[in-house]
Structure 1
Amino acid sequence: MVENRPFLNFLTHLVLILGIATVVFPVYLAFIASTRGPTEFMSGLVPLTPGDHFLDNYGTLLGAGSTRAGTLPFLSMLGNSLIMAVLVAVGKIAISIISAFAIVYFRFPGRVIAFWLIFMTLMLPIEVRILPTYKVIADLGMLNSYSGLVIPVIASATATFLFRQFFLTIPEEMMEAARVDGAGPMKFFWDILLPLSRTNIAALFIIMFIFGWNQYLWPLLITTEPQYYTVVMGIKRLAAVLDGDTQWNLVMTGVILAALPPVLVIIFMQRLFVKGLVETEK
């Protein structure tokens, strides 16, 4: 039995509160800055209360954009990031679950070697293979396109490994029963494996969505036309002002807007996300 010790309970809650404050306080400062004027943070004093420029700052980014940043309206960049994040998440899950299904349920020569070759790509992130990947994408004429943004980062050894480990926990009697009932491989995959993998798919979707949303180096490399800029690139361009002072109120407004979609995805899929990470009994 765990003893109820008031001091330990107080200490535990204190550590949790300090941890939450450490994470939330910079976000709160970013929100405060997004409601202030362009010169209020130049005095060296950091206000802790919201200002009266909330509608002006958010209207500027979501409307006409910032001409000093040389970009499209921020809303268009949010749309580009949303398209990229959704396509990356769906593509990674689709390819990974099919790959894991083939490795676990099909007996073919070299399937173990194939799995370990896929798993070894974890040691080769996009930054390591970025030059040959860029050369291939350029030769295929996929620069400045959504396909060029998505396809090079669409494979995931991590998701393949997780789906493989999950499929190995499914009893073989279930597969044999489906075979006796006349179900072929694809029917078994569609009617049995996919419903059982629902929580795993949800958890991986959130992780892969955030991965695609936060991509910066690859979109920066292959996009030269503003209509394909992502929101992370937009924030960088807002901060990198050549003439004059950086408009930190607009930069922080962009930061808050860029953080909203991943937060909303996590909130709406929180239950499935937690079940997908901690559920062991299927």
Structure 2
Amino acid sequence: MSKRRKKKHEEEEMSEAWLLPYSDLLTLILALFIVLFAMSSVDAQKFQLLSKAFNEMFTGETGLLNYQTTIPQGSSDAPDVRKKDLQKNQYMAEDPQKLKQEQEKQKAMQEDQKELKELQVKVNQYITANQLANKLQTSLTSEGLLVTIRDNVLFDSGSAEVRSIDLKTAGEISNLLVMNPPRNIIISGHTDNVPIRNSKFESNWELSVMRAVNFMKIVLHNDKLDPRWFSAKGFGEYQPVASNDTPEGRAKNRRVEILILPRT
């Protein structure tokens, strides 16, 4: 009688043993379908959260599902943009000295542009005060601050000598170029396309060069300016700013330009 009860008890225990692996199998199948569903979704954030949850549940935060996304929350940038941002951030993190240098460079460029704008205001005030708006003009370009002087302010037609009546104007312009610290300054001469041939000049190119050089000499009479920061160029008729088909256009092309360069 005792043997029969013991045998019946053992059969009951064996008959319930299949429940444990069966429940594990169902759980794994459920997890599989959830993961497959998450992989089919375009929302990488949800997939990251699901994978993390299943890692903690089944693998203790390790294993096949240990996936990390590089997509920041709320980001909709293209993959290549995100990749560049990550590379840039990694570069900055690996070399903080380079990051500091880049920040200092950007700051210096901003300060430089601010100084050039202040200088432009100063020159414009001089132009207004002396009623020279039809003879001088300024523009702030990517190359620096450009001051344009029409040739009728300084020179007679076909001549490279600064007129005596314009020496005062040239001297006042030189005072505007006094800066601390100094900047590199390029003075360039330009002409129209009307051919020139006289005892002094065989071409417009030679005329433009000598106008730039002679004007620079007058400017450097100012002992507050250092000649080492100055250079002269002549472009002849080859960099027009207007059409040479009209007298007005040719007048604009006959000019001397002062280019004040950025320090950076």
What TM-score range do you get, normalising by the shorter chain? under 0.3
Structure with the larger RCO, 1 or 2 (CA within 8 Å, 6+ apart): 1
The structure whose Rg is larger is: 2
TM-score normalised by structure 1 residue count: 0.21
TM-score normalised by structure 2 residue count: 0.22
